[in-house]
Amino acid sequence: MHSQRPLSYAPTPYSYTPNPAPSASINLDEEVKLVSSSGERDLYESLAEIYSIIITLDGLEKAYIKDVVTETEYTETCTRLLKQYKSSLGDESVVQAFVDLETFKRSWGLECPRATERLRIGLPATVEQASHGAPVASNAAGGSGPGGASGSLILAATENFITFLDALKLNMVSKDALHPLLSEVIQSVNKVTDGEFENRGKIIQWLIALNQMRATEELSEEQARELAFDIEQAYQGFKATLN
C-alpha cells in the first residue's frame, strides 16, 4: 500500500507558523495621566477634600458622643471642618460636580449619618445645644450676669443681636450676609448662658434654614420680615435671662 499523502491545504506540525505577537501599544514606563488639564485636577482635588471632610466629621461626631474629645476640642475642630466644607463648595465647577450631599454620598458609596446631620445643621453640637464644659468666669471690671458671665460677654451678645437686626433693616437678605452674623449671635449668647430661653430655638431654626440655602440665594420679603420678628423675640427672651 502506498502511504497517503497529506492534502496540500492541511496543516502539518512543520507547516504551521503562528502569527507574530502584536507589538505593544503602551509604554509601561510612561506616566499615566488621570486628568487632562489643571482645571480638572483642581476639581478632583476639591472633591477629594470634601470626601475627607465628611469622613473626618463623622469620626469626630462619634468621638464626641463617646466623650473621647473634650467639648472645646470638638467645637474648634467641628467649626473648622464646617468652614472647610463651605469653602470647598465656593467654586461653581465643584458645585456642579458635587450636585448635593446626598448625590455625592451615593456616587462615592458614603453613609456617614452623623456627618450628614451636622452638615445639614451647619453648627457644632455644642453650639446647637448650648452646652459648655465649664461656666464662664466672671469679670470684676465688667460685672457679672447669669452663671457668672462677664459684662463684656453680655455686651458682645447684645451688640450681635442689634447688628443682625440692623442688617435686615438695611435689606441684607442673602445667605452670605446673614448666616455669619446669626452664627455670631448664637455663639455669643451661648457664652452668656447655657440655658434655654424663650425663642432661642428660633435662632437655631433660622441658622439651619440659611445653611441649606445657596451662598448667593436671598430671602423673600416675607421671609425677611418673619426672620426679623423671630430674632427680635429671641432678643427679648435673652434679655429676660439677664434680670
What residue ranges do the domains of the chain occupy? 38-128, 146-240
pLDDT in the model for residue 148: 56
pLDDT in the model for residue 92: 87
Residues 123 and 207: beta-carbon distance below 8 Å:
yes
- The answer to whether domain 146-240 has CATH 3.40.50.300 is no
Torsion sign over Cα 149, 153, 154, 160: negative
pLDDT in the model for residue 28: 59
**Matching CATH topology for 38-128 and 146-240?**
no
- Would you state the cell numbers that stand for residue 109, as one nine-digit string? 458609596
pTM over 0.75? The answer is: no
Position 232 confidence tier, pLDDT thresholds 50, 70, 90: very high
Whole-angstrom Cα distance, residue 226 to residue 232? 10
Q: Mind listing the pLDDT tens digit for each residue in 53-111?
A: 999 999 999 999 999 999 999 999 999 999 999 988 888 899 899 999 999 999 999 99
Q: Mind listing the pLDDT tens digit for each residue in 154-183?
A: 999 999 999 999 999 999 999 999 999 999
For residue 85, give the nearest of 95, 72, 97 by alpha carbon.
Answer: 95
Q: Right CATH number for 38-128 from 3.40.50.970, 1.25.40.10, 1.20.1440.200, 1.10.3720.10?
A: 1.20.1440.200
pLDDT in the model for residue 15: 47
Q: Is the pLDDT of residue 136 over 90?
A: no
Q: Is the pLDDT of residue 8 over 70?
A: no
Q: Is the pLDDT of residue 188 over 90?
A: yes
